[in-house]
Structure 1
Amino acid sequence: MSLNNKDHNKPFTVITTHINADFDALACMMAAQKLYPEAVVIFPGSHEKTLRNFFIQSMIYLFNMVNIKEIDLTQVKRLILVDTRQPGRIGKFASIIERADVEIHIYDHHPPLENDIKGHYEVIETTGAAISIITQIIKEKNIPVSADEATIMCLGIYEDTGSFTFSSTTEKDFMAAAFLVSKGANLDIISNLISREMSYEQVGLLNDMLQAVVHYTIKGVDVAVTNVSTETYVPDFAFLVHKMVKMENLGAFFAIARMANKVYVVARSRISDVDAGLIVAKLGGGGHAFAASATIKDMTMAQTEKQLLDILYTHVRSSKRAKDLMSSPAIKADAQTTLEQARNLLTRYNINALLVIEQKNGQEVLLGYISRQVIAKAIYLKLDQACVHEYMSTELGIVKPDSELSEIQEQIIENKQRILPVVDKGKITGVITRTDLLNILVHQADYRKLNQPDPFKEEINARTRNVIRLMDERLPDDIIRLLKSAGEAADELGYGAYVVGGFVRDLFLVRSNEDIDIVIEGNGIEFAKKYAKIHNARVHTYEKFGTAVVIFPKGFKIDVVTARLEYYRFPADLPIVEMSSIKLDLYRRDFTINTLAIQLNPNRFGTLIDFFSAQKDIKEKAIRILHNLSFVEDPTRVFRAIRFEQRFGFTIGRLTSGLIKNSVKMGFFQKLSGRRAFNELRQILEEENPTPAVERMHDYDLLKIIHPDIKPTRKLIADFTAVKKVLAWHDLLFLDEEYLRWTVYFMMLIRQFNKQKSNEICQKFEMAPKYQVIFCKERFIADQCLYWLSFNKSLKNSELYRELSGFKVELLLYMMAAARRESIKKIISHYFTRLRQITTSIKGKDLMAMGIKPGPVYREIMDAVLDAKLNGQIKTCEEELDYAKVFISLTMNT
């Protein structure tokens, strides 16, 4: 029905509801006509297709309905809102709600929100269906209701209460339904519409929803989210969501669907911790705490999902508090308790972790905690008489008795904390263990499947994500091809293949790194041989360690490792290797940031695996070890911690820093072989700027490993800065020559020592003879030359050449850096860039053609020609020959 032309500009009353109207909204609009007989009914936007078919085909005669395009909104003087009061859900009518001449009446059952429309007349009650409110008014006013009207009104109650099964159902809903049945509501029609069969398209979409569902544990609450996409609109999406909630027995469920050019969000919640209406309202939709929906036009499905997750993490609330979860009293150990005594305490009380305290002024001071695993490993390493405070974890968060479950979960899970003290006014009142937390989460989410993975097991579940796009953006095509080929080769052998470690870390740090390590779950050597054969490459194998190196025709190398677990028999020992899985292989690594892996097998190519929160530590720029005895097992990891900290601009974590200091104090570096210690020092000195790392070594009292007298004095820092500038200058020359950067820094580091002490340092580090020659012999000759140059500045080019030509590149760069006067640096630079490359064209055969017999005179002549060329007296080959003839003539005559 439409208005007559003569009525178009007449002031009138409009009844409307929310966009995507359901049966409850439809019933409310029809019932509201009985309270406002002069009003017209207008949909603000779309509505469910089944709903539309229903009333168009059978009961449209009950509605005084007008298309919104046919009215002049300026003529609307009274607006009746039913089943909503959110301005974002009423379409074009939102433009008139602020007008002073518009009277607004509201009939709604939704919980209040901040931006609710304020009505001049409001009837707002807590019911399962909004139609129950208007039904009660109709009953009280004794307004006649036909059987068809009663059927539509009752249909709205059945839908919004889930046939009276939703927890939101109230007594008023039952009473309203009973009244409508008494007026002739047809339950057969209602049953057919509520229990409708699904179409082929709906079945397919429901299957997609089931396949795409992801469970998130947010502040201890399980929330399921799914997303699906279809090019055409599939009706009754809300019905499919309701169906899935029942099928999967979900407590809180959010479904995102892209249909055509719009994104729809439908939410259902059966738990008080998740308010579906509040959360969906943040997306521009609305609804109840248990059911809500939104239609989104200006965001992609991916953007919608990200925003939804952000909202969920902000607004999901748990009702549990720390005092409800804690175990009391807390079992504690004094800081001076030995590890053996601590083990006995754990056994006596059958617990897995101890709080470590000390007494100060009669008060207990919490220092940290220590776990059963750390104690057991330390005792295995024969540290049973060490005190617990030496190996305790000091990065210990605490909570108050009233702390929420979300805070507890973050401390225990995100910070990988095994035991969480509950502290009230400085007093330890109890502890929460991972088991305590797990028990409450299981109880709280008991509707979840029993076979869901347990995130609190000792074997931590990996965080995974697809990073193919990131790889395509940041890696060269030839590297991508090699990685895919590795995955295919492993697949043919039935093995798992992963690229791991620094290569993956640097992918996220946007740093170039072609040092590729591939871990094989299977026989790494067998894989390496097959892979090498595919690429016509050579392979070197190391049976003892299960490793291999694949060397490609152009010299590019890939290291292959069999997934393994390493264990150590005593501090600073070489590792014993056992076969293991990728998870255990990653656990043996040094720091969390080096534990990322990307799977290479074709069916999961590009899947990032993160067992140890490496992405979080990269984001937070933190260097953290994987376990508290890491530096006991391998003290060289301390050098790597310092190197990575300075290279990436990260910070060594507080616990990791404390354990470094402890390993130095315990003297574990004294048990290291000199070769292993030197290898780590050399890598530090290979860094682009090793100065900060050397200073950090001093902070941890590590420079004494080289020599007790080495300190980062102002002079040494200035020397290192000079080396950095000289090396940068050299690299900008783009000379096609290799040199050892670290040797220049090391010469500067030990410059203060005489030959004897220098030799002792070289012997201590088990240096190769060629390095001992540089540091203990040639360095001193270079220093003598530098001293000589300071008194002989006005030199001919030939004299400078004779003085410097015997020095290696590294020694020349060392001399430039060590020279305090700019004039001396320029002299050496002049030789390095100009004189060093000058050679003569004249050969022995040319002298023979002049009739000169071979002998020592040849060298004398050649040197004379070279001197003349260096001094600019001659340039061309002809001039060299002429000069040689004159020199021969004068020499012969003499």
Structure 2
Amino acid sequence: MEIIITHEQADFDAIASVLAAWLLEPNRFPVHPKRMNRNVTAFLNEFKSDFPFKGWDELPDEKLVTAQLVDTQSIGNTSIINEDTLISVVDHHQPRVNLPENWKCFFDRTGACTSMFVGAIRSKKIFPDPIHCTLLLMGIYEDTGNLTYGSTTPRDLEAAAWLLSQGADLNILRRFLNAPLTEAQNILCDRLLQNCETISILGQQIILSTADARDISDEFSTVAHHLRDMLSPDAIFVILATKAGIRLIGRATNDRIDVGQIMKRFNGGGHSRAAAGLIPLKKDENLLDLFSSTKKDLLDLLPGFITPPITVEQIMSTRPLTISSETPIRSVAELIHRYGYEGYPITDTNGKLIGLLNRRSVDRAIAFDMDPSIETIMDPGDYTVKPNDSIDYLKEMMNLSGWGQIPVVNEQNSEIIGIVTRTDLIKILTGNSSIPGNRNYAQTLHRVLPPSSLKLIQMVSQAAYSCRYPIYIVGGFVRDLILEQPVVDFDIVVEGDAIHLARTLVNMYGGTVRTHARFGTAKWMISSIHPEIISSSEHQDNSQFYMELPNSLDLISARTEFYDYPSAMPKVERSSIKLDLHRRDFTINTLALRLDGDHFGDLLDFWGGFHDLQSGLIRVLHSLSFTDDPTRMLRAIRFEQRFGFTIEKHTMLLLKEAQSLLKQVSGRRILNELDLCFRESIPEISLSRLEKLGLLQQIHPSMHWNERCAKDYRKLVEANPGVYWKDLIPDHSVFVQNIGKYLIWWSNYSPETISEICKRLQLSQISEKILQAYGLLNRKMSEITEFWPSDLTFFLEKLPVEAIYCYDCLTDNPKMHEMIYKFITKWRFIKPFTSGKDLKALPYPPGDWISGVLKRLRKAWIDEEISSQDEENKTLTFILPIFVKSLETRSSKNETKDFTS
């Protein structure tokens, strides 16, 4: 008998890998484990007849010849294994230490184990049923975080695309992949969130949470798992009061905390990263007393079960072999053959690290008789660690880069002094723990922030601490703080219930709260308590600091986002700070400062943002970043020019390949990004860069930015319009930011092109009218000014005043300035003494001759043909017979027409 097996508590990737292995070897029995995740069980229950899985009790009573392990490196049911059983392993995780030498093992770096099998299925031209393809796709999506995790590889994307082409059903995937908690589990989850306590032991962030669950009949482990994913600690322990006694559940995210060993002390056990225990309630024993003593015992035990930290220096190899980027590929092959290493740091002519070359890439190039340059086949980047960096930091750097070897550099001169490999790491530790806050900016916050703003942050910090919620300032504030640039806005993210925190703030300090339950956000309205905040600050210069306080403060529960298709608006789901930061655009915007308790000012850097800030790089977090949100391309250029940074090479390649996706983005979102671009201190350089990269043409084929645009924009910004505009355009800078910038940009386009751009960017009809009017002014003004003042007046008064204002700001012609001045201050107000009522009183039938007479009289006044009411009356006496005769002529023609008809 030959079987295919995976680990207990199997997820979709594990079960999908069993299915994939069976598709390749249908003579083997695919065995499902006794215990599977709830959503996996639900899926298989619904589609049981579509799959070949067998339970252990359904296998024939035969000797086991072969056992293939997939997505695991351990055998749960060892009773059926005999000394002659051939065991093979196919896994995408790092190899476990001390695997038996007689096992045949195959490891590869993919985001999901299923992807490895799908590649083999494709090469063998096997075409699974659509429901089989759906399960395989679920395995890939689950282990790659919907293809967004940094561990995702091109092979995962290729496998997913192929499965979709074979009929995988995304609707089924969506139903089961992220199965929601039940109503009872949600209730328990909320209770636990209310009682979360974070403690730090030997550099490990551990969450301890308690709740009364005597009224909950649903399973508890799923809730613990959900909290672990949401809060992303190094370990979480849940202590529940149940009808059977005190139940403990432990979950760890790295191997420095062995929850299985800890739970043995509480009548339980399990794996090193997932375990549970139970303390039965004895007769006449008080449940609350047992609850309290259990928590105390757990806290006392924890330090003894946490492995002390190890530094990079302890496991690195010194004097690594580095290769110059100019070395011929054949010479590199000889070096590889000589030394046998798997990865080699690549340096430029100045000895600077520019990438890592893998042995496999060189072997493939030689096998295909290619002669490429090293730079075309290496993995680009400059990922490094320092000797005193922790193993957790090294692990995150490997996850971030995808490299199997990370160079170690001297802290003083950045010289490469060592290298540490994935094998070195496996010998010590495996897992995915987060980089701890090894930098603190508390002093910087005290130095940079105004006292009242600092006081506001401290108030939120104290409230969060009382709720036992970790809270963070995130994004641009942290970036600008580290760059020592002016900091303005606060983005506060809460790992917990933001609405509960907002209400706590109101109870503690006053103000009011507005909530948005659907997104878990709250707005703390604080204008009424500004005086209290200011008076409690270190300095009490009210006139200075009162204006610095906002009228409200947004509190946002940590969340993650999913995109159904390129350029779609994201779907939001509550999550951990780590995933909340991962949804952001660039690594430099993924930094966070923790604010609660003893962590005040600790820097969190999960995605290499600090390194890229120091290196001056704009880097996306994953290869599909621009696909998810194409407006990030415009943002990349804006940040690049603002900070004088460089778009990282691979990011630039992704940008160029994805630029056509801008055509799919809504006009409002594009317009918002263009508006933000113009708010930069020198927007011309960003727009020139957009033009050079061809991004403007993706918005509209006729949209261009050139030297004329830059010159006109700068001239408009620096213009000093006459005081006669004060009532019509009270704020010049607001005009420039609202519509003025687009008037100078698009004014030379044809009316048809202007209409197309307005439609594409969803501009209002009023905005389009102003744009068209300014274009008309540019085409006609020089011609109109050669005629009578009345002609100019009749022309201009039909146009929006904004168009005339912009023209007045930009024209260098003194005559035009003078005529516009007279139009604004005088001509447009001139009216004759004669009114329409006067003319209607004359013995003539009503008609358009009345407006004609009034216009002729007004023209005479504007052109200074008349200057008094007597002269107006004489002119009226002269022109009236002409208009009346014209009226009689038209009436005669109409009568003839009526008669003949």
TM-score range, shorter chain: 0.3 to 0.5
TM-score by length of 2: 0.44
